[in-house]
Amino acid sequence: MGIKLRLILLNFLQFFIWGCWLLTIGAYWFQTKHWSGTGFGAIFSTMGIASLFMPAIAGIIADRWLNAEKLYGIFHICAAVVLFMIPLVNDPSTMFWIMLVNMIFYMPTISLSITVGYSTLKSQGLNIVKEYPPIRVWGTVGFIVALWIISLTGFETSAVQFYVASIASLLLGIYSFTLPKCPPLGRTQQNSLISALGLDAFKLFKNSKMAMFFVFAMLLGAALQLTNAYGDTFLHDFAKIHAFKDLLAVKYPAIIMSISQISETLFILTIPFFLRMFGIKKVMLFSMIAWVLRFGLFAYGDPAGGLWMIIASCIIYGMAFDFFNISGSLYVESQSDPGIRASAQGLFMVMSNGFGAFLGSRISGIVIDNFFTLGNGQFDWKGIWLTFAAYSLVVAVLFAILFRHKHDPETFSAPVQL
């Protein structure tokens, strides 16, 4: 099996695991367990909490003590055990702690999968900007396949979704130990106290441009969490309106939302072109503008005459997500020394999926409760989405003014050697 095909399988399984439950756990929570909405909000916060520290810790370990592919495999095997336990949980409090442990093992594997992919491609002398996006796109395919399997088999409200995710996680964990070696490259660095603790990646904050980049990664990470938390619920709420309750988008909201992931598969392939032509600043600006359109179209869309707006919003999501997440990770890779490659990717995850996700979910919940709750379980969705769109617009304007970067096309064209 060729090296690219092996990395494709890794990415497919990586996001297949997440797709088994991320968008359907709400149906299991409310319709099967009949637990409260407050408790469900806490479940979504586990991703942000785990991402505050685990990607950075995993990056430090992979940079200094343990092969990245081995650490990646260990995490997935541990996550498989935890996922298998979820159907045994019978109260929301225990569910929170079990999901937090699951996220502690799963969230660092996202940045580790990037580290393994980049390291393997560079060891072969390949251009990661050109070669990685077509490989990463199969991760999105895996997410879509999992989502459709769970939805079409009727497992959306069943505990079976966690068993499927558990089996996939175990298979990926075992498979990881067969991957090419990705040894720690930070062992030979000067053994200062900072190096000994594996905190070298935080030196990137000394560079004002990188510090600014990480701040905006946090702000954009908040926008991503808003989509994950409220998109599916938004479509479900149309079932309370008689004119909409029998429409396709209301009956199968997870399928409609999967258009977002299908769009990702297309926009990922355009990243090498956009990075070479426009550079990281403009590509990130494109992402921010896409977030404005994503939320704005949701504000005025509905499952009937406005369905085209919802579909357009889902298509635009591909640009909003990929031009931030994938392009951002490539930029971090280009600005980091090989010895801190995993730590740098972990730091990017901490800022976006850690602080960003946590702040996005917490602050948005407070804002919705205080300004957009109409009573009787009803929400002012138009006001909610327009507020999110305004937030994204402000972030875009500040980024255009504050982030100073001169584009060098060679940065994203020549392969980076180890």
What is the distance between the alpha carbons of residues 75 and 128, in angstroms, rounded to a whole number? 25
In a domain, 294, yes or no: yes
Whether 117 and 137 have beta carbons less than 8 Å apart is answered as no
In a domain, 143, yes or no: yes
Chain-centre distance for alpha carbon 211: 21
115 and 214, same domain (yes or no)? no
Residue where a domain terminates, one of 183, 211, 235 = 183
Q: Is the pTM higher than 0.85?
A: no
291 and 357, same domain (yes or no)? yes
244 and 385, same domain (yes or no)? yes
In a domain, 107, yes or no: yes
pLDDT at 196: 44
Residue where a domain terminates, one of 126, 158, 183 = 183
pLDDT at 416: 41
The residue with tokens 């498979």 is 175
- The CATH number of whichever domain residue 398 belongs to comes to 1.20.1250.20
pLDDT at 418: 34
pLDDT at 173: 96
pLDDT at 197: 42
Residue 185 makes CB contacts below 8 A (sequence gap 6+) with: 63, 338, 339, 341, 418
In a domain, 270, yes or no: yes
177 and 218, same domain (yes or no)? no
Total count of domains within the chain: 2
Measured in degrees and rounded to the nearest 5, phi and psi for residue 180 equal -55, 145
In a domain, 194, yes or no: no
252 and 391, same domain (yes or no)? yes
151 and 263, same domain (yes or no)? no
149 and 254, same domain (yes or no)? no
374 and 228, same domain (yes or no)? yes
110 and 205, same domain (yes or no)? no
213 and 279, same domain (yes or no)? yes
- Burial of 99-118, coded b for 16+ CB within 10 Å and e otherwise, reads bbbbbbbbbbbbbbbbbbbb
169 and 237, same domain (yes or no)? no
pLDDT at 412: 55
pLDDT at 414: 47
pLDDT at 202: 67
Amino acid at 287: S
251 and 141, same domain (yes or no)? no
Range of the domain at 314: 199-406
In a domain, 13, yes or no: yes
Whether 257 and 300 have beta carbons less than 8 Å apart is answered as no
Measured in degrees and rounded to the nearest 5, phi and psi for residue 337 equal -70, 150
Whether 97 and 56 have beta carbons less than 8 Å apart is answered as no
Tens-digit pLDDT profile for the chain (418 aa)?
688 899 999 999 999 999 999 878 877 877 688 776 567 767 877 887 887 778 778 877 877 788 888 999 999 999 999 999 999 999 989 999 999 999 999 988 988 898 888 888 888 888 887 888 889 889 989 999 998 898 888 787 889 999 999 999 999 999 999 988 878 765 555 555 444 444 566 677 777 888 888 889 889 888 876 776 677 678 877 888 888 888 878 877 778 888 888 898 888 888 888 888 888 888 989 999 999 999 999 999 988 889 999 999 999 998 998 888 878 888 887 777 776 666 777 778 778 877 887 787 778 777 877 888 777 767 888 999 999 999 999 999 999 999 877 766 665 554 443 3
Output the 3-class SS for the chain: CCHHHHHHHHHHHHHHHHHCCCCCHHHHHHHHCCCCHHHHHHHHHHHHHHHCCHHHHHHHHHHHCCCHHHHHHHHHHHHHHHHHHHHHCCCHHHHHHHHHHHHHHHHHHHHHHHHHHHHHHHHCCCCHHHHHHHHHHHHHHHHHHHHHHHHHCCCCCCCHHHHHHHHHHHHHHHHHCCCCCCCCCCCCCCCCHHHHCCCHHHHHHHCHHHHHHHHHHHHHHHHHHHHHHHHHHHHHHHHHCCCCCCCHHHHCHHHHHHHHHHHHHHHHCCHHHHHHHHHHHHHHHHHHHHHHHHHHHHHHCCCCCCHHHHHHHHHHHHHHHHHHHHHHHHHHHHHCCHHHHHHHHHHHHHHHHHHHHHHHHHHHHHHHHHHCEEECCEECHHHHHHHHHHHHHHHHHHHHHHCCCCCCHHHHCCCCCC
Chain-centre distance for alpha carbon 120: 22
pLDDT at 359: 80
In a domain, 207, yes or no: yes
pLDDT at 336: 74
- Burial of 256-268, coded b for 16+ CB within 10 Å and e otherwise, reads bbbbbbbbbbebb
The residue with tokens 């499952």 is 303
In a domain, 397, yes or no: yes
